[in-house]
Amino acid sequence: MFSSLNSSILPPKTPHFLESNSIPRLFSCFKTSFSTNPCPETSPKPISSNLGNFSGVTLEDAVELNAKKLRVDAWICSKISGISRARVQSSIKSGLVSVNGRQIDKSSYMVRSGDKVNCTIAEMQQLKAEPEEMPLDIVYEDAHLLVIHKPAHLVVHPAPGNATGTLVNGILHHCSLPTVSYTSQDIPSEDDDASDEELNGGVCSGESDASIRPGIVHRLDKGTSGLLVVAKDEHSHAHLAEQFKSHTIKRIYISLTCGIPSPASGRIDVPIGRDSNNRLRMVAVSGSSKSGRTRHAASRYRVIEILAGGGSALVEWKLETGRTHQIRAHAKYLGIPLLGDEVYGGTKGMALALLQPKTMPTVRGKLMEMLSKLERPCLHALTLGFQHPHTGENMNFSQLPPEDFAAVLTQLREFSKEKVHR
């Protein structure tokens, strides 16, 4: 299937590029005791909940005079001791928050001095992750961990409205584990600005020592394919999480881009924050990351091949930090969004505009057909390396990209290719 993929996209046993890697610290899903980082204290907190779940807690208060503009979810967090921002955001989405008598539905709504805020914390929705039989591409497995090749379009974690068909459901079945009960608070909201590095973790422990639930140590976007490690026990999870934290995990991504970066290799040190115009998208913004709206983010990249006469490139990436959508946001910042990434500008229209002038008229039909089949960003987690949490052995894995990525790469190479010499 992958005969058209030559070895140039694969690193040698000791990667020739980027000796260490920093990917998201960890992300443990559906853990009963999981909680998003509480909001920082900005003022005294007169309200608390002895029950710990906050269901039905009400807040009626006015924003302090002379207060600076602040997001409504952050302001409510500052008034209710110990509550997570994800929980407040869930209440906002449920229509339980109003400002000056008007219901609001956006967590990013900015409150001002003197605004009157009414809030009722929503009941926690009880959710379940049921074991589901599904094909899993298991690259390696032992008593302590799994290494899985995640296909594109597979969601890793269950979430409200998406509690089935996830990788977690498949792992529960594969490991012969029971149904996992959790609440909507256990899954971070898409509006939550927490990065992968800042998400709380820990293995998902069962009701007894004999019932250990799998721990997702890190995550890949739904549209990203590639290697993912899953811990089977608490020690393994903690050990792997520490490796992510200390930046000793080796991970290399490859992507296909719209256009080619200039220079052909480099380091991007540009903070990333949530796009105020689209809460599902991140944006790289030059300047200080100390404002609280953006966070430090650094990536290294290297062009492996120039494709289609410069209309595209095969690019290798290493992350020094683990921000949400980091490669996608930094690629857009460089002006080379990933091919097929409609959210970040790598649209079919942009790809056509770049590729069509670089290709012969006789292959325009193939170009149109190729672009019409793109259904996800061309991004693949190619290489994964870590120290085994129990044996101490250095484990290294590489996995060729799946058929959809390989087919596009093959087609672009047929248009023309040029190796980048160092």
DSSP state of 80: B
Dist. CA 422–CA 419, nearest whole Å: 10
DSSP state of 51: S
Residue 268 gets the label, from left (phi > 0), alpha (psi -120 to 50) or beta, of: beta
Catalytic choice (115, 186, 221, 233): 221
Structure tokens at 224: 């990203």
Q: What is the DSSP string of 18-83?
A: -SSB--------S-TT--PPBPPP-S---B--SSSS-TT-EEEEEPPTTPPPEEHHHHHHHHBTT-
Residue 125's nearest CA partner among 165, 170, 169, 94 is 94
- Which parts of 215-283 fold into alpha helices (H)? 234-245
Q: Whose structure tokens read 């500008």?
A: 345
**Can you tell me whether residue 407 is helix, strand or coil?**
helix
CB 148 within 8 A of CB 98: no
Q: Is 221 a catalytic residue?
A: yes
Residues composing the chain? 422
CA separation, residue 410 to residues 143, 291, 304, 352, 380 (Å):
38, 44, 14, 17, 15
Dist. CA 350–CA 337, nearest whole Å: 9
- Helices and strands: H and E segment counts in the chain: 8, 24
For the four alpha carbons of 338, 339, 342 and 345, in that order, the dihedral sign comes to positive
CB 39 within 8 A of CB 77: yes
Q: Which residues carry out catalysis?
A: 221
